[in-house]
Structure 1
Amino acid sequence: MKGVRVSNRSNYSRTAVAEPPPSSVPITGGLLARLGAAMAGHTRIVFGVWLLVLVALGAAAPSVFNSLAGAGWQADGSQSVQVRELAQQHFGGNSSAAVQVVVHSDTATVADPAMRHVLDGVRAELSGDARFGAIVDPQPGMTISPDGHTGILVAGAAASTDDMVKAVDEHKAALNALAGNGIEVYPTGASALWSDFNAANHNAMMKAEMFSWPVTLAIMVLAFGSLVAAGLPLLLTVAGLVASAGGLVLLNHVTPISVWAMNFAMMFALALGIDYALFLVARYRDALTRAADPRRAVAETMDTAGKAVVLSGLTVLVSLSAVLIVPAPAVRTMAVGIMLSVAFVLIATLTLLPATLGALGTKVNAGALPYAKRQQHRSPRFARWGQLLHDRPWPFAIGALIVLVALAIPVFGLKVAMPSIQVVPESAPVRQGYELVQRQLGAGAPGALQIIAPAGEAEATARAAAGVDGVAMVTPPQPAADDSGLVMMQALPKVDPSDARMGTILDDLRHQLPDRALVGGAPAENLDLQQALNHYLPIIVGVILVLGFALLLVALQAPLIAGLGTLVSLLSTGAAFGVAKLIFQDGHGAGLLGFHPQGFLDGWGPVFFFAMIFAIAMDYTVFLLATAKEHYERTGDPEAAQIDGLAHSGRVIFAAAAVMVAVFFTFALADPLPPKEMGIILGVAVLLDAVVVRLVLLPVLLRLTAHGAWWSPRWLRNILPNINFAHH
């Protein structure tokens, strides 16, 4: 009996030691593993905090499109901005931000009672708003057409450019309602242009989002094979979108944020939120097959895939931060909008998603489709593809390089310019008024250049301006309304404001006028902004490449593969811009896509799209190389790293790319040209990057470089932080 008692005690002791409750065993791994376990172990607190955040920021989110700024397309500190500021201070607001209301009749003239009645109505509508400065009736020889059937009433700008766009938003319906009985009324000018364009752009973005969500959900279901797992990326994305929208509204109270910031933020939050959730959920489902409990599976997921997500998010933020050096408010705040959305998505990925996974446990596979029950994290199909690339690397390497180089060659002929009136739909009142002014007053009439000079140099300035080739006429100098001693005159060019010759006319004016004379106006603001964008482009490209390489080097601790990863990302970006040149500059496929080519790419495209494309390219680079390094750390075998890296990440990269391509290509349905450019360029970039680079060229480079891909000198390892992707 005594032996039995000892045996029972021994068995009890052995059971207690060998099988402790899973929650009592310490979580192994690094900081992210402990963070993931903490989130999964305190789901109520995490959900409660996020609920408070979403309620607080969500209250502001619905007003995002009405609250954000509508202008900001300028080069701060440029001569044209100086002219606008002087015009608003000393000339009743008759600046580039002034609103020009075009009134036209085929039968009546400006002097007829019916036309005078409409003009009086326009004046009454605008005079009660403090945002408008001096209101000037149509003037013979200046703002009345030669036949007298068209007159332009000018309402000066007494507020910021953003407030002037909002003023047009509020008054344009009432102004359009004054039309009738054969009299047409069109608000025009830069403020009206941005008002109509922002509205068209917003409608296009909403239409694209409505199309993209069902397509995204379908791809998610196919990728995960589970309705619950497929819904998690969308949950994460909605949380990031709501938080970033509310954050932008609050930030707008501190500094004006362009409405375009939200447009881009919506697109990037959807794309990257799904990317990150795909990577983590796929890894979590695999970890569940080995872990003792969901909390431990979350810890393993965050310790491996979580590191790749953090590195990817940092890469995106670093790439976009380079855009902040451009001295243009709209460009800077677009970058801020995307960075804010990425930050919220990243925070949600590191907190809300682990908590949700911990709460769901094995139910993450609920609603599984039949084929999904046989699905493995290590994809046999991508393993076979990886083996094929390993066995025959050179044909694939050469083929991929030929495709990318051939597509990148056209980029050397790429032309850029600020958008023309064609980016606004033909039905937009501002475009109708613009084209009417051109027919009645000449091609350059909508883009008059403004000259401000000291009164003592008025005659010399006017004479020099009239002698510049390409200037059709110069209006008489108008003295300032105060004692500033300044005069203003308008130089009407002979060409359309978006004509390439406008740049030469502006340069000639600035060189030939007296030194103290300044030249501005809406066309000059566009050209000054374009010059600033061209100046900063090589700087931004250099900064992004250096910082991208540095982040890869820190993460992978392998200079060769970090350098190759950066170079192939640059190559895929060049190929995307080459395709953009063929489509949007040369017009190949324009009929199919439903647009008229401008003969150039919109000027902000290279700066902004380069940062976005490179960020996305590095996103996939990180996913693939982090997975490959994890297997190299475990085995020390470069073949296993290449094949297993592709086998474990290939399906996720393919699914994530399919989602991004679907999201971006829905913007090809937009009527305005800039969203169409954005969608097609980014969609082509993702397609090329995922299919040609991440699933072909980069794995082949891993094969050809073998151990050298992961080699690092001792001195470099000593100064870099120790980052491992394998879970211990």
Structure 2
Amino acid sequence: MSTVTAPRPDEKQAVGGVLARLGATMAGRAKWVFGAWLIVLIGFGAAAPSVFSSLAGAGWQANGSESVQTRELAQEHFGGNASSAVQVVVHSEDAAVDSPQMQAVLGEVTDVFTGDDRFGEIIPPQPGMTISPDGHTGILIAGAGTDPDGMVSAVDDVKGELTALSGDGIEVYPTGASALWSDFNKANHDAMIQAELMSWPITLGIMVLAFGSLVAAGLPLLLTLAGLVASAGGLVLLNMVTPISVWAMNFALMFALALGIDYALFMVARFRGALAESGNARAAVAEAMDTAGKAVLLSGLTVLVSLSAVLVVPAPAVRTMAVGIMLAVVFVLLATMTLLPAVLGKLGGKVNAAALPWAKHPKARSPRFAKWGALLHRRPWWFAAGSLAILVALAVPVFGLKVAMPSISVVPEDAPVRQGYEVVQQQLGEGAPGMLQIVAPAGEADATATAAAGTDRIAMVTPPMPSSDGSDYVMLQAMPDVDPSDPAMAGIVDDLRGAVPEGAVVGGAPAENLDLQQALNDYFPLVVGVILVLGFLLLLFALRAPLIALVGTVVSLLSTAAAFGVARLIFQEGFGSDLLGFEPQGFLDGWGPVFFFAMIFAIAMDYTVFLLSTAKEHYEKTGDAATAMIDGLAYSGRVIAAAAVVMVAVFFTFALADPLPPKEMGIILGTAVLLDAVLVRLVLLPVTLRLAGRAAWWSPRWLDKVLPKISFSHG
């Protein structure tokens, strides 16, 4: 007679959809999951330590622009004397360029470049061109023998050797676009790492307070660490196929930390609530995946869609920054869907271990946020008017926002490239660091020189220089009478391009910056449109409710506009600059609107998905719009608030960085998250649910037939 043994509680099959079954499987086969992730982390981790030394340094250009065409012609036909060439400033208060001491130093500078095929032709200082009127400053040019990314890497390798030649009253400074990006990237990399190191203990402290348990608080950081290691290694491997900007890893570090914590918070909070009710770890994992897991997956897809819109911008650095974040999001999402369920299933009740003495294990439903939801339900118009008034007031300044590519002031004052830049300006003229290059057919040499010399605000034009390879081209250098970052430079470049003969092209570092800025401006409306449309479609697909999907998408614009309004007041007008420790440029860095919009929208939709998916879950259970609105806040409000606090803390640590770009990023993103979480997701969006009532969840029959049915309730 055979005996039938009842299955143990942790062996019961999960009830629910695909994600519930996936979660139960991950929890039931934790050892296999841990083994697979160990292999992944060892494989990618082996490449991860070289991420910052391997990735590219430049890519800040508008592909296909006239300035890029000029640089390519200069590099091919003029010994590499392009905008990416290295300019070495040699200066002495006492000795002249033709003195034995200065000539000896120039010889040593030449020796640094000789034999390195990354550098092209070496052009010594030329009278009337690269020697100052008083004869005490000369600029030696080492041509570009490789692409701009390779030139930045080359400068990284030799700039220490070059600056070490200073002494005995002679100063040596590597300058030029490649040296600028070298120092710029280093300063920003150091600042980003410092901010990351500062944010981790702050984040852990906030997580401990949010969860009341050291074990539960550590899970989001574990998840984030796994995603970071995998994405760092992935970027190194991807860089072997196509150059990836080092900024990609900087942003990936920050975004993986922020989103990893967001996702883990939502999942762990839901798991703990389900575990308290059922006492079965595997069933609790299945429920968390079937509910919170769907929201996390939708959020991750929304983030990826938002960032993918940035790929339409024809600027390699901007594209690869988006790729870096997308790669980090993919790995964090994979870890959330596989590694986290396995860890939770293995831990079970131990997830609450190492609890703080005063901590109580919170229930899934927060009484405080339930009361808040009830208050919003009773006074919707007052709260709607108040939140809208604040957001609109902060957004109004955005209409006067100015953008431009970074000026020399974003580099630390003691950086060699900035010191050399200032010496060149003092000795050769205000516009000398930003010489414009003109490449023209040899037959148009005289006409080009005449047209350039007659252009307004061009202080000097060098004689046409024949190509070094015998091709039918000449090159001229035109010096503007303004600083390269002066707003007037755009008009000067346009006038010069309009004046020279049709076959001539105008480039140089200032023109490359202007062309890139123009491309960013041109593509910004397209990026915004693509992000809004795709974000709406994803919400519509998940919620099957056109009205609330539209509202959830559109209200993200309010917090974004308000954040950029604050950015104008701080970075353009200089409010609080002394307190924050920076020198205002009079504009926001040009890549900010395109890139930060995508990032802010992605984060905002993160909170939108958490709130609306929870509200939809309770609407599906009860059919009552008021209950859905209040319970949506009661079950997700605490997680949204905790995640927002962590994100704001992470982002605002970057505001303490010395270089301006990380400071801009930290303040803009931190402000956006603060405004979005407090005023939009915890006030305006719930109030909209209240005012819309059942209409918020209405869907026409034809749409119901087209869209697949996605339920956020478990069972």
Per the shorter chain, which TM-score range? over 0.9
Number of the residue aligned with 2:624: 637
Matches within 5 A, 1:130-529: 130-529=117-516
Are the counterparts in 1 of residues 10 and 281 from structure 2 also a CA contact under 8 Å? no
So what's the TM-score if we normalise by structure 2? 0.99
Rounded Cα–Cα distance in structure 2 between residues aligned with 1:195 and 1:303: 48
Deviations for 1:462-487, whole angstroms, at most 9, x for unmatched residues? 00000000100100000001231100
Please identify, of 543-552 and 372-381, the stretch whose mean Cα deviation from structure 2 is larger.
372-381
Shift of 1:24: 4.8
CA displacement 1:636-681 (0-9 Å, x = unmatched): 1111111111011111001100000000000011111111000000
Structure 1 residue 377: Cα displacement: 1.6
- Equivalent residue letter for 2:190: N
Amino acid of the structure 1 residue aligned with 2:624: D
Any residues of structure 2 matched to 1:111-126 within 5 Å, and which?
111-126=98-113
Aligned to 2:698: 711
**C-alpha distance in 1, partners of 2:223/2:645?**
18
Structure 1 counterpart of 2:675, from 675, 684, 688:
688
Structure 1 residue corresponding to 2:76, chosen from 89, 95, 100: 89
One-letter identity of the residue aligned with 2:497: R
Asked if the contact 1:22–1:292 (Cα under 8 Å) also holds between the matched residues in 2, the reply is no
CA offsets 1:420-453 (integer angstroms, 9 cap, x no match): 0001010100000001100000010000000000
Which residue identity does 2:42 align to in structure 1? V
Q: Does the 8 Å CA contact 1:415/1:601 hold for their aligned counterparts?
A: yes
CA distance in 2, matches of 1:370, 1:154: 67
Amino acid at match of 2:589: D
- Measured in 1, the distance between the counterparts of 2:548 and 2:502 equals 54
For residues 20 and 41 of structure 1, what CA distance do their matches in structure 2 show?
13
Q: Distance in 2 between matches of 1:291 and 1:157?
A: 67
Aligned residue number for residue 19 of structure 2: 32
Match of 1:4 in 2: none
Q: Equivalent of 2:32, from 45, 48, 67?
A: 45
Kindly name which structure, 1 or 2, has the bigger radius of gyration based on alpha carbons.
Answer: 1
AA in 2 matched with 1:571? L
1:62 to 33, 46, 49: 49
Determine the structure 1 residue equivalent to 2:640. 653
SS in 2 for 1:370: coil
Write out aligned runs for 1:593-608 (5 A). Answer: 593-608=580-595
Deviation of the 1:291 alpha carbon: 2.6
Choose which of 107, 110, 115 in structure 2 pairs with 1:128. 115
> Between Structure 1 and Structure 2, how many residues are aligned?
715
Q: CA deviation at 1:292?
A: 5.0
Q: Deviations over 1:277-304 (max 9, x none)?
A: 0000000000102235211110010000
Q: Look up the SS of the partner of 1:468 in the other structure.
A: coil
Structure 2: runs of 5+ lacking an equivalent: none
Cα distance in 2 for partners of 1:196, 1:224 equals 42
Q: Which sections of structure 1, spanning at least 5 residues, go unmatched?
A: 1-8
Letter of the structure 2 residue corresponding to residue 490 of structure 1: Q
The SS at the match of 2:277 is: coil
Alignment counterpart, residue 656 of structure 2, candidates 669, 672, 688: 669
The one-letter code sitting in structure 1 at the alignment partner of 2:86 is V
* Alignment pair present for 1:559 and 2:546: yes
Equivalent position amino acid for 2:562 in 1: A
- TM-score, normalization by structure 1: 0.97
Paired with 2:276 and 2:447, the residues of 1 have a C-alpha distance of 84
C-alpha root-mean-square deviation of aligned residues, in Å? 1.2
How far apart are the structure 2 equivalents of 1:299 and 1:440? 71
Question: Is the contact between residue 438 and residue 445 of structure 1 (CA under 8 Å) also seen in structure 2?
Answer: yes
* Residues 297-329 of structure 1 deviation map (CA, whole Å, 9 limit, x = unaligned): 100100000000000000000000000000010
Identity %: 75
Summarize deviations over 1:219-241 as a string: whole Å, max 9, x none.
00000000000000000000000
The structural deviation recorded for 1:26 is 2.6
Which secondary structure state, in structure 1, belongs to the residue aligned with residue 278 of structure 2?
coil
SS of 1:373's partner is coil
Distance 1:374 1:414 in 2: 47
Residues of 1 paired with 2:229 and 2:189: CA distance? 17
Give the letter aligned to residue 241 of structure 2.
Answer: V
Matched, 1:586 2:573: yes
The DSSP-based 3-state class of the residue aligned with 1:290 is helix
Give 3-state SS (helix, strand or coil) of 1:153's partner: strand
Q: CA deviation at 1:374?
A: 5.0
Deviation for aligned residue 1:210: 1.1
Q: Which amino acid aligns with 2:406?
A: P
Q: Secondary structure at the match of 1:66?
A: helix
Residue range with higher mean Cα deviation, 252-261 or 708-717: 708-717
- Equivalent-residue separation in structure 1 for 2:521 and 2:499 (angstroms): 24
Q: What CA deviation, in whole Å up to 9, does each residue of 1:385-409 have, x standing for no partner?
A: 1111111111100000000111111
